[in-house]
Amino acid sequence: MRTAPNTTYMKLNTPNRLTIVRMLIAPLFLAVIMKDNLPHRFLWAAVIFVAASVTDAIDGMLARKNDQVTNFGRLLDPIADKVLTTAALLAFMKLGICNIWIVMIVLAREFTIASIRMIAASNGVVIPANIWGKLKTVSQMVFTVIIMILGEVYQYAENIVPGVTAPYYFTLSNISNTLLWITAVLAVISGVIYIKDSKNAIDYSK
């Protein structure tokens, strides 16, 4: 006699649902910011990005408040963040306002840390994020919003006065790259510290 499947493991709590929603928002954000003929695309993209970022704060708060911290959430939450921020970096690179080396550095760091986390998890070890990693994540999200707001302002100015250009050092590209290089430097620092900490917590000989 067949027994009904155990649905306990299929249920998602609210924090985990919000995490999944954040992952689904990322392609929507990318589609909006890359749509050339969409009026105020930078503004709409900024609104979507901020909304997705808010879900990150809410799901973490709910998980801790309601004691709903799960292994699924621990694994997927940082991945959802990376999907969203990577979508922004790729969009900026495509738009010519982000140096390809910034994307390379940040993604290399993310893949490296994700790999270490998986190795640590297989050994039953949890390596906490360091303050530099948190600064990297916050700076990347804040700078992303600033860049999109500036993009909206520059686009509006160009529509009002066709052909207007900002001084070289104040072009959107230069400002964007300057801000994102700060994130790239923080990514390297936090990554090196995380790797150093992992050597004290993980037996890589196994």
Which of the given ranges, 36-50, 62-76, 189-203, has the highest pLDDT on average? 36-50
Question: Which residues are CB-contacts of 199 (< 8 A; sequence separation ≥ 6)?
Answer: none
- The backbone torsions φ and ψ at residue 163, rounded to the nearest 5 degrees and listed phi first, read 90, -5
Poorest-confidence range of 9-18, 65-74, 93-102, 181-190? 65-74
Residue type for position 53? S
Which strand (E) or helix (H) includes residue 176?
helix 172-201
7, pLDDT greater than 60: no
- The DSSP 8-state label assigned to residue 8 in this structure reads G
How high is the pLDDT of residue 185? 96
**Burial class (CB within 10 angstroms; exposed 0-12, middle 13-18, buried 19+) of 128:** exposed
176: left (phi over 0), alpha (psi -120 to 50) or beta: alpha
Could you tell me which residue, 151 or 202, shows the higher pLDDT? 151
Percent of the chain with pLDDT over 90: 42
The 10 Å CB-count burial string (b at 16+, else e) for 10-36 is eeebebbebbeebbebbeebbebbeee
**Higher pLDDT pick, 9 / 151:** 151
**How many CB atoms within 10 Å of residue 1?**
2
64, two tokens: 């801790």
With cut-offs at 50, 70 and 90, classify the pLDDT of residue 164.
low
Q: Percentage of the chain surpassing pLDDT 70?
A: 80
Q: What is the pLDDT of residues 28-62, one digit of tens each?
A: 999 999 998 889 999 999 999 999 888 877 766 77
The confidence band for 9, taking pLDDT boundaries of 50, 70 and 90, is very low
Neighbours of 162 (CB within 10 A): 7
The larger pLDDT score, comparing residue 145 to residue 169, is at: 145
At 113, list the tokens.
Answer: 């840390």
Three-state SS for 125? coil
Complete domains list, the chain, with CATH: 11-201 (1.20.120.1760)
How many angstroms separate the Cα of 122 from the Cα of each of 55, 72, 116, 117? 28, 14, 10, 9
Mean pLDDT is lowest, of 20-34, 46-60, 99-113, 117-131, for 117-131
